[in-house]
Amino acid sequence: MGYQETYQTWLSDPYFDEATKEELRAIADDPKEIEERFYMDLEFGTAGLRGIIGAGTNRMNFMLCVRQHRVLQITLRNRECRIAAWQSLLIPVI
C-alpha cells in the first residue's frame, strides 16, 4: 500500500478520532506533507522512538504507541517462553 492509500485509510477508518481526521483534512491540498507523514513508518532507533508529534505513520501519535506496545508485548512473551524452555532443559532430573 502506498502513502496515498494509507492517508485515505486514516481518513476513513472509524478507529481514528475526529481531531486526527481534521488534522489530515487540513493537509489534503499538500501532497508533499502527505508524503512526508505517510511514506514510511517511524523507526525505532538507538535513542528509541523520536519524531514529530502528529497524525501519520511517520509521526509520534497514539496509533504508534499502541503498535509499539503490542510489539513489546509479543517480544517479552516470546522471551519468557524461550527462558522457560531453557530452564526446563537446565533443571537436573533427580
Q: How does pLDDT run across 60-76, given as a tens digit for each residue?
A: 999 888 888 888 888 88
The alpha-helical segments, DSSP class H, found in the chain are: 3-12, 18-25, 31-38, 62-90
pTM of the model: 0.70
Orientation of helix 3-12 relative to helix 31-38, angle to 10°: 90
Does the pLDDT of residue 79 top 70, yes or no? yes
What single DSSP character describes residue 93?
P
Confidence bin at 1 (pLDDT 50/70/90): confident
In total, how many domains does the chain have? 1
Its sign, for the CA torsion 39, 42, 45, 51, is positive
Compute CA distances 24 → 36, 55, 71, 74, 86, whole Å: 12, 7, 26, 31, 48
Yes or no: say if 39 and 58 are a contact pair by the CB < 8 Å rule. yes
